[in-house]
Every structure is written in C-alpha cells, then in structure tokens.
Structure 1
Amino acid sequence: MPAMLAVPAIAAPAPASGSLAAVQQHLSAVDTMTADFTQTDRNGKVLTGEMTLEKPGKIRFQYEKGVPLLLVSNGKTLYFIDYSVRDVQPYPIKDSPLSILLDPSRDASKYAKIVPSGDPRVVSVEAYDPNNPQYGRITLIFAKKPSAPGGLMLQGWVALDSQNNRTTIRLSDQKFNVPVSDNMFRFNDPRRSGRPN
C-alpha cells in the first residue's frame, strides 16, 4: 500500500477587506473595546464621553461631567437614564441597532449590507431590520487598518431612529480586547435611593 502523500493544508482565503465577511471577522475578533466618543445630535448639539463595550450585550456611554445622561446595557436590557428628571427607559438590547456590535451570535448578513462609501479606505455597513422599522437603523463606519482586529478600525456610526432623527458617534483612542470591569455595566437607579442596578 503506497504511503499517504502529505497534502499541505490550504488556508481559507481571507475575506476582502471591504466585504461584509471582513466586518463580521472584525466583530467576532473583538470581545471588549474602549474609546472616547463625540456625539452630535440632529440639532448639532455635541456631547463627549467614554464608551466601554463587552460582549455579549454590554455597553456603556459615560457622558462628560455635568451631563446627567447615561446609556448602559447589562447584557440583556439597554437603559437610557436621565438623572435630571429621574427617568429610566429600558429597551431589549436585541431590538437595538447596536446589537450588531454586541451580539456575536447574530448573522449580520441577514440584516446588514455594505453601502458605498466613495472612499476605498472606508467600509460602511448599514444594519436595519425591515420587520421592525421602529428600531431604526445604524450605519457603522470602519477604516481599513491592517493592525486592527480583522483589518478594520471602527471609527463610529450614524444612527437614524424611526422618526429619521440622526445621531452621529465618532470614536477616538480605540482600544480592543482590554480588561473591563463588570461594574461598568451597572448604574444607580434614580427612581430608588441610589441602589445600583
């Protein structure tokens, strides 16, 4: 019986850097992320702060000092807290357009697509659930960067709510797969006597 020939393993080709597969590769390579953010709303009002993300499902937008707002998810529910009026609005994280960043189990090809950016160095991905238009849509903006996870660097996103109100988030000082404390995804509930949720 002839000896088995050694067949060299053939590596799967890397996805093209401008493809949805490359975006999914980036998303699956990122477990945690921190960044500074600048948020611009439809009226041109600008707020800054720090974003912390941990998969699956956890994110925190800590606004600059003096801004009584907090957006935080504990993995299942996304809370928008306005401390100035002691209000807490909960949303299931799976219904948020941000779930493309936070839920590695979802197949992005079923609800996201590459949109032309006009710049070969930029990859734009629009995520939108046509069955639930009330949740709005999000367009993620990536820059091609070989040293970043999956060769892409998340630069920010543009979110449109169901009333077409636009919010733009720009990120800077991005750090990937860094240690993150679980305390980042808790908050003091203003409806109660300061007990963390």
Structure 2
Amino acid sequence: MKIAIIDYGAGNIQSIKFAIKRLGYEAVLSKDAKEIAAADKVIFPGVGEAGTAMRMLRATGLDKIIPQLEQPVLGICLGMQLMCEHSEEGDTSGLGIFKADVKKFNIGVKVPQIGWNRISNLESSLFNSVVEGEYVYLVHSYYVPECEDEIARTDYGVNYSSALHRDNFYGVQFHPEKSSTTGEKILKNFLAL
C-alpha cells in the first residue's frame, strides 16, 4: 500500500510517519502532486497557523490538488480545519471540502485546549473497535462547531465536531499519532478503508 503524507511545511510529520511504521507500513513525505495522487491513502497533517498554512498550500498548488483526490484522505488537526470552508484564524478561506467553518474558543475555557479529552457520538467505520467516550490527545485553539459532516463529538465548554467525513475525506481534530492505542486503532481503520 502506498501512503503519502502531504509535506507542505506545516506538520508534525515525523510522529505520523513513526505511527504508520508501528502499524507495519511505510509512508512517503511528498509535495509532488503526481506522487500524492498515485497513493492509496493520503494523510494531510497540520500544526501551526491557518493563514500561513494556506499560503504554503497555494504556493505549491496543493490547494487545487487536495480537493480533487479520490482515494481516502485523512486531515489531522490543522489539516482537518483547512479542509473546511473558512477559519476565523487569520480570516482564512479553506479548501471547502467540509461544509463547516472554524471558530475560536471564546467561552471561558483555557485556550489552547491541550491534553486528553473524550470522543463520543462515533458514527463511522473510522471508529471500528473504538469505545464510546475513549480519550484522544488534542492541542488546538480553534474548533469546528457541530455540523452535518460530524462523525465524532467532543465537549470542551461547548460540544464541537472532533471528527468529520464527506465522501472520501475524513478529518480528526485530535492527534491519532499521539493518542495511544485509541489513536492507533483509528489510524489502522483509516488504512483499512
């Protein structure tokens, strides 16, 4: 199986690569459109600021490539947020894959949310053998309000969509590569899609 991790300068790419390797697979880091399009599975990571990350995607033309991919694609953290229509972070237009906007936490909770929190309302084969209410690891100041593409939910002062799905595109707000055995199951399920 060919697994491509999109390399656009905004990701915790090595930890994802190691997590894939622990599952018995090799992943290539790539910014090459043809190599990404030829992969069986694509992972779209992201750590950092939305506006800067979108500028990097546009500079490489990946902003046009990603929405056209037909194989399973998994956006992680900022990767998932960039797959939405708009982010309040830097007033940034996203890729428009998920029909949702990204909002800043402003409800009296500590920002960023850093650490372990539960996922519930699991509605996808991405969560096969994951128990309702299991813990995952999150680091974020912005969130996706509950929306039609939601396949998992988390409560942090407000219920928000912590995982999304539309067509061949999946997104998780949490970091599966840092979420112990739960995250390992989710990555394994993604690779089995």
The structure in which a higher percent of residues are helix is: 2
Structure of higher RCO (CA pairs closer than 8 Å, 6+ residues apart)? 1
User: Larger Rg: 1 or 2?
Assistant: 1
TM-score of the superposition, structure 1-length normalised? 0.28
Higher strand fraction: Structure 1 or Structure 2?
Answer: 1
